[in-house]
Amino acid sequence: MPPRIPQIVALGGGGFSMERDGSLLDDYVLSLVDAPRPRVCFLPTASGDADHYVVRFYRRFSPGCEASHVSLFRRDQGTGGVEADLAAHLLSQDLIYVGGGNMVSMLGAWRAHGLDSILRRAWRRGIVMCGPSAGSLCWFEQALSAFHGAPRPVRGLGLLPYSNCVHYDAEPARREEYQRAVAEGMSAGFAVEDGVGLHFRGTRLERTVSSRPDGRAFLVERRGARVREGSLAVDYLGAAGRPAGPARRGRASAGSGDSRRRAAPEKRVAA
Amino acid sequence: MSAPAGPAPPAEPVAPEQRTIFAMGGGGFTMEPSNPLLDDFVLSLARAREPRILFLPTASGDTTPQINAFKARFQGRTCVPDHLSLFRLRETRRPLADLIAEQDILYVGGGSMRNLLAIWRAHGIDKLLIEAWERGSVLAGLSAGAMCWFEWGLTRSSGPPEPLEGLGLLAGSLTVHADGEPERLPVWLSHLREGTMPAGWALDDGVGLLFAGRALERVVTSRPGTEALRVDAIAGELVRRRTQPELLGSRASDPLGGYDEAVEELRRVNRLRRGTGRRRR
């Protein structure tokens, strides 16, 4: 097998678990996999292996893929999906899909079962990694976790040498909190709205895609004493994957009565 | 009746013999929905008249059925029940340290012991629970929630039974579900024989060990016919000692009609023993 470049698609929120018609982002992730019937393994750890989440995963992926899941909570009951050699199973996948939930709990459980090092190896081998929310934050060096109490920086697996903030549009305070964290020394990184995915090849941001016409993402970095928020060019996936032109964006914004500041998509980040 | 919100318990550590752990091999509200004997015994261990009891379903991944079973069991009883889900922390507004510090009883559910400890450590809960124990809060739990307090437990967190280090508040090892999951016992005994696990207890479902500090104080059960097995390795030989637990509620002729009385008596005894001198009503 020729060497494959490591790839991660970090979703700010979205995909099968969060969007009613969540096929656009999932389809994009699957398009990166070169296999007629991709092997896709779901890790619902961050939800505590919630049954409903596992069911929705299979509903979405089993029609076109060899779908499986690993439950780190049900291994004693023989209902943990994959039971045998976790490493061998995960390293034979085309795509590893990490579900949302609590990142701190997830990383704790992963480390206890050695999944952190297995996932690192899987990524290096070119198995595509993706996930929304906690399934995005975990790949980065640092993440802004707003899961409990005041948002605070927490360490992720560090495959991507940046910070990450998801659900950037979900709460008005989120933007301010992330920028303050970066101002106070958190590494520069990416703020992503629901429905938007960051596609990394290696550690370089290759493309930013969205399942929503008005989805946005930003590079947030320190510039001297100030923090700069630069808009990323976002490709709307709704029209056969063509990059979203300003006209369509304008229409979408006007239609939804969106009065948020809309930065021009001027900046393509080479990370 | 006074409101549930009140001052936090004193932050001073209590004497070692006043530190309480109740470790169950199985049983309680998750496994015995129609038998409240163990759970009422847990409530009786608290010093407070209306104890605050916090359920930690971490080992199960915070499953809704466990949380609902907890509510069903404790909401109608003389206590202030609450639960802490580390996977849905958004529901918990308050700092975890405050929430845990004010509890009279911390009740840990069953599931994956490996995940339980790893997730506690990731959130710093292990330290908070040890502090709570040192301040006199009751630590209770079944299965993974019982083994976690010992130096070692025998977990099936990864499938086959294997030793896993616990928090070490109690000496020795514990294996659970001795009757319900008989495949555990031979693995545990072979580890004891090889010295890869320290001596300890194997508990049937329904059996609970009550510790005052590190000393075993009582062995109780919610089910007739169950036992606690103590095994020590002496000069390479395993020495087994079977203990007949006292059947909770058995002092009354009618077990259902009588257990309230028995629990009341236990509570009185506890209050006297702990020297709080407080009386009901």
> A56-65, A151-160, A234-243: which range is least confident on average?
A234-243
User: Rounded mean pLDDT of B88-96?
Assistant: 79
Label residue A79 by pLDDT band (50, 70, 90). low
Q: In this model, does residue B257 exceed pLDDT 80?
A: no
More confident: B267 or B214:
B214
Q: What is the pTM of this model?
A: 0.82
Higher model confidence: residue B206 or residue A22?
Answer: B206
Among residues A133, A145, A163, A211, which one is catalytic? A133
pLDDT digits (tens, 9 = 90+) for A28-67: 999 999 999 999 999 999 999 998 999 999 999 999 999 9
B46 Cβ contact list (under 8 Å, min separation 6): B53, B79, B104, B105, B138
Range of lowest pLDDT (A114-123, A140-149, A261-270): A261-270
- To the nearest whole Å, the CA of B116 is away from the closest chain A CA by 8
Phi first, then psi, for residue B193 (nearest 5°) are -65, -40
Query: Higher model confidence: residue B142 or residue B91?
Result: B142
A89 is catalytic: no
pLDDT score of A68 more than 80: yes
Q: Which residue of B has its CA nearest to A106?
A: B119
Say whether residue B66 is in contact with chain A using an 8 A CB cutoff: no
Tell whether the model's pLDDT for residue B271 goes beyond 90: no
Confidence of residue A145 (pLDDT cuts 50, 70, 90): confident
How far apart are alpha carbons B281 and B277 in whole angstroms?
Answer: 12
Which tops the pLDDT comparison, A175 or A149? Answer: A175
pLDDT at A84: 67
Mean pLDDT of A92-102: 96
DSSP states of chain A as a string?
------EEEEESS-STTT-TTTHHHHHHHHHT---SS-EEEEE-GGGTS-HHHHHHHHHHHTTTSEEEEB-SSSGGGT-SB--S-HHHHHHT-SEEEEPPS-HHHHHHHHHHTTHHHHHHHHHHTT-EEEEETHHHHTTEEEEEE-SSSS-EEEE---SEEEEEE--TTTSHHHHHHHHHHHHTTPPPEEEE-TTEEEEEETTEEEEEEESSTT--EEEEEEETTEEEEEEBP-EETTTTTPPPPHHHHHHHHHHTT--S----S-B----
Q: Which residues of A touch B (CB under 8 A)?
A: 46-50, 72-73, 75-76, 78, 80, 83, 101-102, 104-105, 107-109, 111-113, 147-149
CA-CA distance, A107 to A115, in Å (whole number)? 9
* Cross-chain residue pair B89–A101, CB shorter than 8 Å: no
Question: What is the mean pLDDT of the segment spanning A198-221?
Answer: 96
Active-site residue B143, yes or no?
yes
pLDDT confidence band for A262 (50 / 70 / 90): very low
Q: Give the mean model confidence (pLDDT) for residues B46-59.
A: 96
Cβ–Cβ contact B156 with A under 8 A = yes
Instruction: Give the per-residue pLDDT at B263.
Output: 57
Q: How much is the pLDDT for A117?
A: 96
pLDDT given for residue A102 in this prediction: 92
* Average of per-residue pLDDT across A238-247: 52
Cα dihedral B158→B159→B160→B165 (10° resolution): 30
From A96's Cα to the closest Cα of chain B, the distance in A is: 20
